[in-house]
Amino acid sequence: MSIIKQYHPEIQSFLDYLQFEKRYSINTVEAYRNDLEQFFVFLVDSYESPEISNIKPTFIRTWLVDLIGENITAKTINRKASSLKSFFKYQMKMGKLEASPMVTVHTPKINKRLPEFVLEEDLQSLFNHVEFPDDWKGKTERLVLLLFYSTGMRLTELITIKERDVDYSKSQIKVLGKGNKERIMPISTELLDSLKEYVSNKLTTIDGIDNLFTNSNGKPLQQRSVYTFVHQYLSVITTIKKKSPHILRHSFATHLMNNGASLNAVKELLGHASLASTQVYTHNTIDKLKDIFKKAHPKA
């Protein structure tokens, strides 16, 4: 029997709230579930499973210290602490608590690192010089890579796009982002033509489903397979450590900012809830800074 059913049904109530009222994605709800189960297993082992109202800040601090001792990263620990904050806030909302035990709990500081990205010229090489197989697999993989870089959409957003989400008359595409929030993104005429040709070929060669992208068997693309071929192709044109679909999202945002796009515009295109998430992209490449310096400083 799970820790949720055995000791704290309040957890399931909270997870249902996230899924059905907040409309969080299945992956996000599962992350909350894992964090909360881990914490309450710790409470069972260390404090004989106290009632929600008897959970003290000391218990939480001890758990966080244990996580640090297990070499869990500060980012992961902060996420787990955030899960607890949301959980206790919900308990207050439901009248189960008068105050949250998280009020006096401090989480470790995160060293902010600039997001990695692929250089513009390297991505131009990918689409202009790298050869993709002239079959359904090759056409799909090239188009997926191009759509990632052209829109900055997330992996889960891309693999769930339906054919009807592409509006050819308005040159735009609709995606379903975090929290089931829809957003509309513009796409270039060149990309639009490629999508139109892709869908046309799919209708004649594959027993289609309504997903925009399919593998050669006519089935929806899976996250793992997309991650694999993105890593494969990025390895051809860049030496950066991370080579994932999310790096193409970083590249999209960074290149927009470096070419004069406003922070608000990038925020809307990425589907961020606040500017704070977008501000990491206000950095410039060293080459960009050198160029600005040469043009602006009299002694350059």
Q: What is the CATH number of the domain that holds 83?
A: 1.10.150
Same domain, 150 and 288: yes
Q: CA 300, CA 297: separation in Å to the nearest integer? A: 5
Contact of 108 with 78, CB cutoff 8 Å: yes
- Give SS3 for 39: helix
Domain boundary among 58, 93, 128: 93
Same domain, 194 and 271: yes
Same domain, 158 and 17: no
Please, what is the angle between helix 9-16 and helix 26-47, to 10°? Answer: 160
- Residue 300: inside a domain: no
pLDDT (tens digit, 9 = 90+) per residue, 19-67?
999 988 888 999 999 999 999 999 989 988 888 999 999 999 999 999 9
CB atoms within 10 A of CB 74: 14
Output the pLDDT for position 49.
Answer: 82
- Residue 268: inside a domain: yes
Same domain, 161 and 286: yes
Q: How many distinct structural domains can be found in the chain?
A: 2
Q: Is the pLDDT of residue 162 over 60?
A: yes
DSSP H or E segment with residue 186 = strand 182-186
| Structural domain containing residue 21 | 3-93
Chain mean position to CA 238: 22
pLDDT (tens digit, 9 = 90+) per residue, 187-241?
999 999 999 999 998 876 666 578 999 998 889 999 999 999 999 999 999 999 9
Given the residues 178, 231, 242, 288, the one annotated as active site: 178
Question: Would you state the structure tokens that stand for residue 300, as one six-digit string?
Answer: 């350059």
Same domain, 175 and 56: no
Same domain, 32 and 169: no
Strands 166-167 and 172-176: antiparallel
Check if 281 is active-site. Answer: yes
Given the residues 61, 79, 272, 283, the one annotated as active site: 272
Check if 297 is active-site. Answer: no
Amino acid at 200: S
Same domain, 69 and 17: yes
Same domain, 278 and 170: yes
pLDDT over 90, % of the chain: 67
Check if 106 is active-site. Answer: no
Same domain, 22 and 129: no
Q: For 164, how many CA atoms within 13 A lie in the half-sphere containing its CB?
A: 3
Cα–Cα nearest to 177, from 275, 268, 78, 76:
268
Q: Is the pLDDT of residue 297 over 80?
A: no
Given the residues 249, 250, 255, 267, the one annotated as active site: 249
The torsion region of residue 107 among left (phi > 0), alpha (psi -120 to 50) and beta comes to beta
Given the residues 80, 142, 154, 243, the one annotated as active site: 154
Same domain, 149 and 65: no
Same domain, 150 and 88: no
pLDDT (tens digit, 9 = 90+) per residue, 99-123?
999 999 988 776 666 688 999 999 9
Check if 154 is active-site. Answer: yes
Check if 32 is active-site. Answer: no
- Give SS3 for 214: strand
Q: What is the CATH number of the domain that holds 239?
A: 1.10.443.10
Contact of 166 with 175, CB cutoff 8 Å: no
Same domain, 287 and 219: yes
Say how many Å lie between the first and final Cα of the chain, rounded: 69
Output the pLDDT for position 1.
Answer: 46
Q: CA 102, CA 133: separation in Å to the nearest integer? A: 54
- Residue 104: inside a domain: no
Q: CA 236, CA 8: separation in Å to the nearest integer? A: 50
Contact of 158 with 229, CB cutoff 8 Å: no
> How far from 61 is each of 6, 83, 147, CA to CA, in Å?
24, 14, 44
- Residue 23: inside a domain: yes
Given the residues 7, 24, 198, 281, the one annotated as active site: 281
